[in-house]
Structure 1
């Protein structure tokens, strides 16, 4: 294991564009390295919740996001080091094309920016299925575009034949960039997609396990793992002054109280006051959450328990606060609607004034109905599927005082959905969007804060502290 002071060995897996095979290669590399006995730290550039699930399956560690827009460039290295504690090597999967970032913001939130912030070498995954010698021009362009981005090698993906491989290698050699792997098409590696991207791990069960194993086997057979590890070790130290991010004073056992219901127990901070019990929705319908949120809640004094709205018929006993993150309630609308006991339990908690934080899927679940099926009825609003994809970063300010933030608090977030809620905002909206368009959105009612906006609480740790304090006083 390598200490943060000397620099965690690390690689960034990037591509010229989406669809080139980044997830297959990054997940497969994580699995292959873990299979060799290395402790692998998995990371994903951007706000994506789904890829980290596959990363976690490959490594046995929590997949973590590195988002320079949501958290700010200054937190990228600290969050990276937090996730990489005790690891031998870190693999960072990029987002979109290498130089693609937040719209209209230059390099902000791009894979290239994160690679520079981490001083990490980049491995470029190239979809070579429809080219031969032209790959040299493509690689040369990406290598020369930004001299601060170090592209240490190329992995050629979707190669058709031995002859095709020879032509591609000759072309890339002329650019002076080493070919670190060649992968052929392999059906078992394909991961099914639907309206918002890949199907999450939690919904696929053994199929996901088999897919990740196939990715690992393909990368192990087609890539030079020794050269990739050597490149990662050549990353060198992180920028001066970088220290791991910390959520706060979370204790270790046996002093922490541990409770669970349908999920993983989280340690809570001991003290004279009993911890506030916060329930977090999980299971196949609610798979979108950042690990740091749970860590921040625990550090603020919460006893965090998870539950599955598809299975559990009531909230965990003694719940004082509720967090319902993102996911796919539209896929499980019938099952969620049929669980009347839990819908009633959620409504009773919300009506009592207890703090409830709901993002995107959570917003839909709190509505009166979703695609005509009864939901919790906490909000006098109706939700339905839409043909239109709403996607992008948002610059927002809290309009109303809530359990999450005081009015005027500014946060950056991300929207990603194909649903519509009518009306889109309540009498006390949650957020006022500053960019890219000005509008109000979401609902603040009693202790409820419900919105489409996904936020990363590491950017404003006061969110978790405020939420837990409201649990204590409501």
Structure 2
């Protein structure tokens, strides 16, 4: 697990660079994001090519959490978990419940702490020592972010002496390689290769400034774990469910879809942007979140889909719609340019 003292420490950029470096080493890599975040896993799969899932100790019990971790990492050589917020930050200001720390403990995952060194020097040792001693934990190393090679060389022995934590590298200041939430959430087709080129440049830098081999060794200290699959029923017959899946509707949790399939659902992807109607034989539809506001013209212009959806939902077809999918069902929706699209009047 790559964790940090707080949000804004550079976890996302560091994790993406490390994942790319591992992929470039021809390793089979799985990645996970702590908490209910669909954007990072989607980016990891689409741009880096790793198998990516979520881990959430608030929404799942211990056995299910471990089961999803084991299932999500099957067939891979190494798993990298991106923490969320500060390492110990949980569901409330005074609790570690739901925190990255709790997930590391329940999955027995060794942790590398990423510390933002901008504007600090020996104080970094105090931060690392504080995190190491605050709770019994699995912190096995730390990385210094936003520091020069000279600063790293000076601070490494001090931190290891004062905090008792191995320093396994640094990340220099990367003005043109910091990944924003916009890049993670919205990857246009013509941007994928450009982003891959940038990530390969980042991976090359990290191969020089981080001890990637040591990170692999630390990951190898994780013990074998198992988990129990959650009990659920099985339908007497297959039920076809249409799943909206295109550029406008892409925020879907893979584990939820797998669970529906285990329960007997037949998942049929379709595009509200391009298809003329809901898939034939569908007995329900799922409209996930995404970016409908960026595709308002295509969505409102596809009147045959809108009319088919209005007729079938009006006749009682079950629909699960959230976020962007729920926006799509409204009478009117304003797109990113301020234009307002409408459902057909019929």
Question: What's the TM-score, normalizing by structure 2?
Answer: 0.88
Deviation at 1:298, TM superposition (A): 1.7
Question: Is contact 1:55-1:63 (8 Å) kept?
Answer: yes
**1:428-458 Cα deviation digits (max 9, x unpaired):** xxxxxxxxxxxxxxxxxxxxxxxxxxxxxxx
Q: Does 1:297 align with 2:260?
A: yes
1:222-279 CA deviation, whole Å, 9 max, x = no partner? 21111111111112233xxx336378899xxxxxxxxxxxxxxxxxx9x9x5x33211
2:8 pairs with 12, 16, 19, which one?
A: 19
Rounded Cα–Cα distance in structure 2 between residues aligned with 1:311 and 1:236? 47
The runs of 5 or more residues in structure 2 that have no matched partner are none
Alignment partner of 1:24: what SS?
Answer: helix
Pairs within 5 Å for 1:388-427: none
For 2:316, the equivalent position in structure 1 comes to 353
Task: Give the superposition deviation at 1:128.
Answer: 1.0
Kept after mapping to 1: 8 A contact 2:149/2:172: no
Segments of 5+ residues of structure 1 without an aligned counterpart are 1-11, 251-268, 379-474
* 1:64 equivalent in structure 2: 53
Does residue 81 of structure 1 match 2:59? no
RMSD: 2.6
* Distance in 1 separating the partners of 2:52 and 2:344: 33
Equivalent residues in 2 for 1:249-260 (5 A)? none
**TM-score, with normalisation over the residues of structure 1?**
0.66
CA deviations on 1:55-113 (whole Å, 9 max, x unpaired) are 22466343111011122344221110110112221111100110111125711110000
Residue 178 of structure 2 corresponds to which residue in structure 1?
190
Q: Does 1:145 align with 2:129?
A: no
**Larger displacement relative to structure 2 (226-235 or 50-59):** 50-59
The reply on whether 1:287 has 2:275 as its aligned counterpart is: no
Match of 2:82 in 1: 93
Question: What does 1:359-398 align with in structure 2 at a 5 Å threshold?
Answer: 359-371=322-334, 373-376=340-343
Q: Which residue of 2 aligns with 1:235?
A: 222
Number of paired residues?
A: 339
After TM superposition, give the deviation of residue 117 of structure 1 in Å: 0.4
Query: In 2, distance between residues paired with 1:302 and 1:153?
Result: 44
The Cα of 1:338 is off from its aligned counterpart by 2.7
Instruction: Give the number of the structure whose residues are more often helix, by fraction.
Output: 2
Residue 311 (structure 1) aligns with: 274
Q: 1:134–1:234: structure 2 CA closer, same or farther, 3 Å change rule?
A: same
Q: Report how far residue 164 of structure 1 moved.
A: 2.3
Pairing of 1:188-267 with structure 2 (within 5 A): 188-194=176-182, 198-201=184-187, 204-238=191-225, 242-243=226-227, 245=229
Match for residue 37 of structure 1 among 26, 33, 40: 26
User: Counterparts of 1:28 and 1:246 in 2: how far apart (Å)?
Assistant: 34
Deviation at 1:169, TM superposition (A): 2.0
Once residues 228 and 36 of structure 1 are traced to their aligned partners in structure 2, the CA distance between those partners, rounded to angstroms, is: 13
Residues 10-58 of structure 1 deviation map (CA, whole Å, 9 limit, x = unaligned): xx11011111111112222222112222221211100111111222246
Distance verdict in 2 for CA 1:122–1:285, change over 3 Å: same
Counterpart contact for 2:78–2:219, Cα < 8 Å: yes
Q: Check conservation: 2:64, 2:227, Cα contact below 8 A.
A: no
Aligned with residue 129 of structure 1, among 114, 118, 126: 118
Paired with 1:342 and 1:210, the residues of 2 have a C-alpha distance of 38
Report if the CA contact (8 A) 1:286-1:329 is conserved.
Answer: yes
